[in-house]
Structure 1
Amino acid sequence: MIKRTYVSFSNRLKISTKLCLLIIFIEVINQFTGGFFRSFGIIPRNISGLSGIVFAPFLHGGLVHLISNLVPLFVLTLLMLSHGRTRFVLVFTTSALIGGLLVWFFGRSANHIGMSGVIYGLFGYLVVAGFISREFKLFIVSCLVAFVYGGLILGVLPTLPQVSFESHLFGLLVGIAMAFILGKDPSYKS
């Protein structure tokens, strides 16, 4: 088990801001290249689409798609860092990589891009881990996330053809699994 470490609020703000600025920077370059980077998304069951598992979270279908992901990414990253930097990195990368691999295996034939799979992973972790941790502060974070972002759960349903509900679903499942794996801090005394 990985011990939870403290990350100051100012460092949480810096990390969340830098992550969002990186994604904005990539989208600005993408806009100037006519959307060239979008071709590096996850294309299920296609060998060339495997690289999308790494690149897809940082690519977006335009400014509206980008903006719709920035606010929840910023807020959930900020809250996820209350579980520690190492746990944040593990949940973020596992949601991106394992979630992306599941999309590659089971997703519909489309080009899957965007940070929403990771956002759903962070959401799933935050909602479940606070209950598992038995720590009041993290329990309150779980309740807050469930209340504010509970509507995300509808995103795992296949409602719009241009939305990768598969990324949402697999990101959420990976985040919940990571909560059960990492959620309880072994140093916590009841």
Structure 2
Amino acid sequence: MKTSSPNTLTEKLKSRVVLIALFVGSMWAVFFLSVALPFLHLNEHGVVPRSLDGLQGILFAPWLHASVGHIAANTSGLVVLGWLCTWPNIAGFWRATIGAMLGAGLCAWLFGAPYSVHIGASGLVFGYAGHLVARGYYTRNLVSILVALVVVSSYGLSLLFGVLPIYPDVSWQSHVGGVLGGVLAARAGAGAANRVRVR
């Protein structure tokens, strides 16, 4: 059985710390830019349901936040769940990120209220959670199952209430879409791993 040397483990930890720091840090940078230069109206580039221009928000919305409280609330989930998605490989993080962004953005665009603008990274947070839980189910790997159980026990109630249309000004559509995108990304990752093993 192959084990990681201390140097290899250090490199893996360092690369993941840098990735998460840059990823989440870029969101804070955009937020500070929007505060410093309000005339840019950056938050208008979120998802606008059933508008062709609003499709750009699928890419931009996770980097746009309405307030310090908004981005701060998303930061802990992005850091913790995003970090867990980087293991066992960083490709899983990008797969979950792309799946969650597409799922959250498309659901907000299809099912959001007319003339609303959906912004924020909470769709990503829900996508990461959905990805981690689904990964445990699809891979049946002991570590992945344990991670899934930790996610459910820690975030279960937040996930449940977050996908229900009970809070005004909260994009439950993005949350539902993020979860679906994360689950589909986990399914795709498990399928890819199985194909590699078969070869």
- 1:96-107 to structure 2, matched below 5 A, reads 96-107=101-112
Rg bigger for which structure? 2
Q: Which amino acid aligns with 1:162?
A: D
Partner Cα separation in structure 2 for residue 49 and residue 17 of structure 1? 28
Shift of 1:188: 6.0
Q: Deviations over 1:85-112 (max 9, x none)?
A: 1121122012112431222122222100
Q: How many residues align?
A: 184
Aligned twin of 1:159: 166
Report 1 or 2 for greater relative contact order, CA contacts < 8 Å, sequence distance ≥ 6: 1
Q: Which amino acid aligns with 1:114?
A: G
Partner Cα separation in structure 2 for residue 150 and residue 183 of structure 1? 23
1:41 aligned onto 2:46: yes
Aligned twin of 1:175: 182
Partner Cα separation in structure 2 for residue 124 and residue 132 of structure 1? 12
Q: Which amino acid aligns with 1:160?
A: Y
Match of 1:72 among 72, 77, 83: 77
1:62 aligned onto 2:55: no
Match of 1:90 among 81, 89, 95: 95
Instruction: Name which of structure 1's ranges 95-104 and 70-79 shifts more when overlaid on structure 2.
Output: 95-104
State the TM-score, normalized to the length of structure 1.
0.89
Q: Once superposed, which parts of structure 1, at least 4 consecutive aligned residues long, lie more than 4 Å away? A: none
- 1:126-165 to structure 2, matched below 5 A, reads 126-151=132-157, 152-165=159-172
Partner Cα separation in structure 2 for residue 153 and residue 117 of structure 1? 13
State the TM-score, normalized to the length of structure 2.
0.85
Partners of 1:130 and 1:183 within 8 A in 2:
no
Match of 1:27 among 17, 26, 31: 31
- Which consecutive residues of structure 1, in runs of 5 or more, have no partner in the other structure? 1-5
Partner Cα separation in structure 1 for residue 14 and residue 142 of structure 2? 22
| RMSD of Structure 2 on Structure 1 (CA) | 1.9
Partners of 2:46 and 2:118 within 8 A in 1:
yes
Aligned twin of 1:113: 119
1:16 aligned onto 2:16: no
